[in-house]
Amino acid sequence: MLLELPALTPAQYSLVSNLFSLAVAAMLASVIFFIAARSKVAPTYRLVPLISAIVVAVAGYHYFRLFHAWEQAYALNQSLGTYQPTGDLYDDAYRSVDWLLTVPLLLVQFVLVLDLPRTESRAVAAKLATAGALMIILGYPGAASRNAEFFGWKGLWGVAGTLPFIYVLFVLFARLDDVVRTESQNVATLLRNARLLLLVTWGFYPVAYMIPMFYPGHPAETPRLVTALQGGYVVADILAKAGFGLLLYHVARRKSVEDGFTDL
């Protein structure tokens, strides 16, 4: 999204700056946690925290770039007392690239923690990863365009991207539910929570995509909306990547213990 940025109050500008900084810190700390966590799970599950580490590393890098772009895009105007856009590009496309890499990995991770028979595991993981990538690719033309009409370019790509999203949710909540049921009560609850966390946090992204459709003109460029959206992405990203990874780590840890694994 090439936002044409509005002037922001110092409070709005620094809220977003601070949240970007928080995102970088949270993602980097999570990399260390997930790498260290690998030895706490049985070898069968080691790929699960490793994928989390990769996901948060990729996200941390992109937040670093976004943070930098954000700082370049604004300058404090002393006489007005507001942050004015400098004209430098603030390119949200970093986000789409980030999603294209992290969304398939997050989905593969969920399949891996189930420890299905190998051929089944591969088939489900491949389908979910493909659908996840397709969702991001199809949504991109609508996100990058300045068109905000539902019955137009944005709506068309939004609907197209929603179809693979529905497929992903169908696989997670319906098709894989039989597998979730066969797990111990503790593991099943953790898996259900992980699925729910995915639904709630991933739901933010299509909502953020749609917001401009509900306002005439270019409301994505109003100061409050820009602040809320950029901040909302930070919260959603930390929960959907590090939070989701933490839940799956607990699944892997518990299943390892149930299988008789001990790290002592």
Residue closer to ligand RET, measured from CB, 70 or 202: 202
Q: State the nearest-atom distance from the C-beta of 34 to ligand RET, in Å.
A: 15
Among 49, 104, 158, 212, binds ligand RET (CB under 6 A): 158
Among 205, 225, 245, 252, binds ligand RET (CB under 6 A): 205
136 is a contact residue toward ligand RET (CB under 6 A): yes
Burial environment of residue 79 by CB neighbours within 10 A (0 to 12, 13 to 18, 19 or more):
exposed
Stretch that binds ligand RET, among 12-20, 27-35, 158-166, 222-230 (CB under 6 A): 158-166
Among 38, 195, 241, 250, binds ligand RET (CB under 6 A): 241
Backbone phi, psi, residue 215, to 5°: -125, 140
Among 102, 109, 230, 256, binds ligand RET (CB under 6 A): 102
Residue closer to ligand RET, measured from CB, 8 or 139: 139
Stretch that binds ligand RET, among 5-13, 187-195, 204-212, 214-222 (CB under 6 A): 204-212
For residues 161 to 200, the per-residue mask of contacts with ligand RET, x marking binding by CB under 6 A and - elsewhere, is xx--x-----------------------------------
Q: State the nearest-atom distance from the C-beta of 109 to ligand RET, in Å.
A: 11
Residue closer to ligand RET, measured from CB, 85 or 206: 206
- Considering only residues 56 to 95 of the shown chain, the ones binding ligand RET according to CB under 6 A are none
The residues with which 74 forms a beta bridge, in sequence order, are 85
For β-strands 82-85 and 74-77, DSSP reports them as antiparallel
- Torsion on CA atoms 63, 66, 72, 75, rounded to nearest 10: -80
Among 134, 135, 191, 213, binds ligand RET (CB under 6 A): 135
Q: Which residue is nearest to ligand RET (CB)?
A: 139
Do 49 and 35 contact (CB within 8 A), yes or no? yes
CA atoms lying within 13 Å on the CB side of residue 36: 7
Residue closer to ligand RET, measured from CB, 52 or 102: 102
Cα 132–chain centre separation: 11
Cβ within 8 Å of residue 109, ≥6 positions away? 47, 48, 51, 52, 55, 244, 245, 248
Residue closer to ligand RET, measured from CB, 88 or 92: 92
3 is a contact residue toward ligand RET (CB under 6 A): no
Q: State the nearest-atom distance from the C-beta of 201 to ligand RET, in Å.
A: 7
The residue behind tokens 């970088």 is: 24
CA 229 vs CA 96, 100, 174, 204, 224: distances in Å = 15, 19, 31, 10, 8
d(Cα 204, Cα 235) in Å, to the nearest integer? 10
Q: How many residues bind ligand RET (CB under 6 A)?
A: 18
The residues with which 82 forms a beta bridge, in sequence order, are 77
d(Cα 5, Cα 172) in Å, to the nearest integer? 38
Residues contributing to the site for ligand RET (CB under 6 A): 99, 102-103, 106, 135-136, 139, 158, 161-162, 165, 202, 205-206, 209, 237, 240-241
